[in-house]
Amino acid sequence: MGKLLVTGGTGLVGTAIDADVKLSTADGDLRNWQQTLELFEHHRPEKVIHCAGKVGGLVGNMNHKGEFFYDNVTINTNVLEAARRVGVKKLVSFLSTCIFPDNVEYPITEKQIHNGEPHHSNYPYAYAKRMLEVQSRAYNEQYGTNYVCVVPTNIYGPNDNFDTKNGHVIPSLIYKCYMAKKNNLDFYVWGTGAPLREFIYSEDVARLSEWAVDNYTDNEPIIFSPSNAISIKEVVNTIAKEFDFKGRIIWETDKPEGQYRKPTDNSKIRTCNPDFVFTEFGKGIRFTIEWFIENIEQGIRGAERKF
C-alpha cells in the first residue's frame, strides 16, 4: 500500500515499525535542509512516519533547552517540507503528552494542546513539538496533504536510550538496578516515588502508528495511551522484582520530580481502534529487561552516550 519511510528508524519506536525505508543519523542530518531534501528525493516515499527528534527525560530537557528547541524545530520543519516537495500525501508525526499545558483540565484531551504554557522543565521541547501540529494543519489547508499527529504518553521498550542522566525514567532505572544488583550497591531513585505516569510499550506505539498512517485522517491529533496511571514507586518495585534485587532502594528526594501527574483521555483511540489490546505493564517491563540483558553491550553504550 505505498512505499513507507520512517525517520528515526533506529530509535525506540522506529525500530519496531515495519517499513520499506528506515532513516537513521548514519543516512544524513535532518537538521540540514539540503541533506533532508536529498534523502527524500532519493527515496521518494509515498507515506512517512516521522519519529526522529531530540528527546530526553526530565533532566535531559532541563539541561539542553537550546538544543531541544533548535534540533526539533529544524528537524520537523525540514522533514515536513521535504516530504511535501516530493509529493508525500500522508505523514504521521509524534507529539507527546508532556507538551500539553501545565495548568490543564484533567484528563488531558487532544483539544487542549495549545491552551496554555507547558511545564517550565520542558517548554522548549513542548513549543517545538506544538509547531509540528501547526505545520501539519497549515500544510493540509494550503496543499491538500493529510499530515496527522499522534500523541503517545511515556514510551518505553527495547532500543531505548539507557542513559541515566538524560534518559527517561524506565531505561534509567533498568540500568541503575542492573548495576546495583551486579555490584552489590544501593539502587538510587530520584524523588519520592509519588508521581504518576501513563506508560506505553514501544511495540504498541509502532502498531498504532502503522494503523494511523493508513487509517487516521483528522487534523486534530490523537492520544495513544492505555490510560492507566502507574506511580514511580510501582515502576521501581516492578523493575527490582524482575531483577530479583534485594538490596537497599534510596529515594533521592532532592532530585527533580517534574509534574505530579498528567492523566489522559484515551476515548478517541478506543473508539477509532476498539480491538487494540495494550501490552500489560509488567509484561512490557519484562520484555524490555530481557532485551537489555541480551543486548547489554548496546544497552551500556546507550547509557554512556553523551548529548
Active site residue 125: yes
Pick 8 or 45: Cβ nearer ligand GDP: 8
Instruction: Note whether 195 binds ligand GDP by CB under 6 A.
Output: yes
Instruction: Note whether 154 binds ligand GDP by CB under 6 A.
Output: yes
Instruction: Note whether 299 binds ligand GDP by CB under 6 A.
Output: no
Q: Which residues pair with 198 in a beta bridge?
A: 229
User: Which of 73, 88, 150, 189 touches ligand GDP (CB under 6 A)?
Assistant: 189
Give me the helices (H) in the chain, please.
33-43, 58-63, 65-85, 123-143, 169-183, 202-215, 232-243, 267-272, 281-294, 296-304
Burial class (CB in 10 A: 0-12, 13-18, 19+), 43: middle
User: Which of 191, 221, 263, 302 touches ligand GDP (CB under 6 A)?
Assistant: 191
Instruction: Note whether 158 binds ligand GDP by CB under 6 A.
Output: no
Q: Are 231 and 193 in contact (CB under 8 A)?
A: yes
Q: Tell me the closest approach of the beta carbon of residue 4 to ligand GDP, in angstroms.
A: 29
Q: Which three cell numbers stand for residue 59?
A: 533532566
Instruction: Note whether 152 binds ligand GDP by CB under 6 A.
Output: no
Tell me which residues in 96-125 interact with ligand GDP (CB under 6 A): 98
Q: Which SS3 state, helix, strand or coil, does residue 208 take? A: helix
Tell me which residues in 210-269 interact with ligand GDP (CB under 6 A): 232, 255-258
Which range, of 77-85, 134-142, 167-175, 278-286, touches ligand GDP by CB under 6 A?
167-175
User: Which of 77, 172, 202, 238 touches ligand GDP (CB under 6 A)?
Assistant: 172
Instruction: Note whether 168 binds ligand GDP by CB under 6 A.
Output: yes
Binding string, residues 23-52; x marks residues near ligand GDP by CB under 6 A: ------------------------------
Pick 120 or 142: Cβ nearer ligand GDP: 120
Q: Tell me the closest approach of the beta carbon of residue 176 to ligand GDP, in angstroms.
A: 6
- Using alpha carbons, list the distances in angstroms from residue 187 to 17, 19, 115, 206: 33, 39, 39, 31
Buried b (16+ CB within 10 A) or exposed e, 212-247: bbeebeeeebbbbbbbebbebbebbebbbebbebee
Q: Tell me the closest approach of the beta carbon of residue 22 to ligand GDP, in angstroms.
A: 25
Instruction: Note whether 57 binds ligand GDP by CB under 6 A.
Output: yes
Say how many residues touch ligand GDP, by CB under 6 A: 19
Q: Which three cell numbers stand for residue 5?
A: 519511510
Q: Which residues pair with 148 in a beta bridge?
A: 92
Closest CA to 5 of 82, 61, 102: 82
List 125, 147, 201, 216, catalytic entry: 125
**How many Cβ atoms from other residues are within 10 Å of residue 144's Cβ?**
8
Sheet with 229-231: strands ordered across: 154-156, 196-201, 229-231
Closest CA to 19 of 34, 9, 32: 9
Q: Alpha-carbon Rg of the chain, whole angstroms?
A: 19
Pick 88 or 232: Cβ nearer ligand GDP: 232
Pick 216 or 243: Cβ nearer ligand GDP: 243
Which range, of 40-48, 79-87, 184-192, 202-210, touches ligand GDP by CB under 6 A?
184-192
Q: Which amino acids are annotated catalytic?
A: 125
- Site residues for ligand GDP per CB under 6 A: 57-58, 98, 154, 164, 168-169, 172-173, 189-191, 195, 197, 232, 255-258
